[in-house]
Structure 1
Amino acid sequence: MSLVIPVILGSVRSDRQGIRAARFLIARLEERGHEAPLVDPAELKLPILDRMYKEYPKGGAPAVLEDLAGLLRRSDAFLVVSAEYNHSIPPALSNTLDHFLEEYSWRPSGICCYSAGQYGGVRAAMQLRAMLAELGTSSIPSLLPIPRIGKALDEAGTPAEEWLGKAAGRFLDELVWYAEALKAQRAGGTPY
């Protein structure tokens, strides 16, 4: 079953490393036959949240929000790539996610976290889990942490270490399983 799984990148820094992880995961999802569009806040240039998408009159939201809402609504799952800033998630990621709500409902999410150090961003992932659940896209049990991202992946997203390909394979197997299960359930209706 082909799925739509946007890869939502969290950092807008000029020297950001997360783009490596996003490229790696997009390639892996596409190899499996899934559509994996990149949602990049550096390209979207969303305004700082003043009004959620749903708070605009129908058809009155800025075009960038209308387009992103359309992508989110046709998605089967979300894969969030997050750095760790001060033991938390990047502000650009929070801003991107916070513009929407119902568009995430009844779809799973997966968290790939990373850092320059040895912990791979897992402290941010714990806070992101709570946020994603509140948005209606609970994260799958597994994480894909990438420590020392600058050495683990090159600029193109090619892994330099064998463990990363294996770990990503298991992580994506789990995300796809949840996405297929919830897609089948959504086809029969949702509780509300």
Structure 2
Amino acid sequence: MSRTILVFYGSYRRDRQGIKLARWIVEALAARGDRAELVDAKAVDLPMLDRRHSDYGEGEAPAAMDALATAIAAADGFVFVTGEYNGGLQPGLKNLVDHYLPQFAWRPAAIASYSAGPFAGVRAATAWRTTLGAMGMVVTSTPLSLARIGSAFDADGRPAGEDGTRIAKAFPRFADDLCWWVNAARAQRAADGPPF
């Protein structure tokens, strides 16, 4: 059975590199038979958080915010693709997800981190584990971490070089872990609904 997985990406930078990883993950999930969709915070372009989606009355939320709420609630699982900004969370991605809460609950999330240097965004990934768990998501135990992203993809967006080869080899286990939790959570929601 096909799964619907949203892949979130949040950089607003002019020469953003992480979009290569996000797009490749969407393609790689689709190649496995899942319905994967990129949610690019820059393209969605929500304002700085003032009111969450749940703070609006029925039909009062901005159209882009409302459409994304529907997509999140219909998804089976999520991938968060995050760079590391000064040792912490990407502000564009954090702002995007903070507009929502109940839509994410009782679904699994996986984290793919990256950096321009050798540490592959692991501090951002660690921070996201705490944030996503607090939002009601089960965070999978298999990370996907990419160092030196600037040289990890070729001109066609395919993994290249040592770091690209490493990420391509690591991806199947990352996706298998996420999809196992997606299947488990979907079956549990169907059997018993939300826990409270």
TM-score (norm 2): 0.95
Pairwise CA RMSD: 0.9
Would you say 1:64 and 2:64 are equivalent positions?
yes
CA distance in 1, matches of 2:177, 2:154: 25
Structure 2 segments unaligned to the other structure (5+ residues)? none
Partner of 1:125: 125
What is residue 49 of structure 1 aligned with on the other side? 49
What is the distance in 1 between the residues matched to 2:25 and 2:145?
12
Q: How many residues align?
A: 192
Q: Deviations over 1:142-166 (max 9, x none)?
A: 1100000111123543101322211
Instruction: State the distance in 1 between where 2:76 and 2:140 align.
Output: 13
Cα–Cα, structure 1 residues 156 and 97, in superposed 2: closer, same or farther, change >3 Å?
farther
Establish whether residue 75 from structure 1 lines up as the match of residue 72 from structure 2. no
Structure with more contact order per residue of length (Cα contacts < 8 Å, sep ≥ 6): 1
3-state DSSP class of the match of 1:6?
A: strand
Change (3 A) 1:49 1:75: same
For 1:22, the equivalent position in structure 2 comes to 22
Preserved contact between residue 9 and residue 22 of structure 2 (Cα < 8 Å)? yes
| Residues 1-192 of structure 1 aligned to structure 2 (within 5 Å) | 1-160=1-160, 161-188=164-191, 189-192=193-196
Q: Decide whether aligned partners of structure 1 residues 21 and 155 sit closer, same or farther in structure 2, where only a CA change above 3 A counts.
A: farther
CA contact (8 A) 2:145 2:167 kept: no
Identical pairs, percent: 44
Matches of 1:69 and 1:156 in 2, distance apart? 32
Q: Provide Cα deviations, 1:125-144, integer angstroms capped at 9, x if missing partner.
A: 11111000011112101110
Contact 1:24 1:156 in 2 (8 A): no
Tell me how far 1:33 sits from its aligned partner.
1.2
| Cα distance change on mapping 1:66 and 1:147 into 2, 3 Å | same
Runs of 4 or more above 2 Å deviation: 154-157
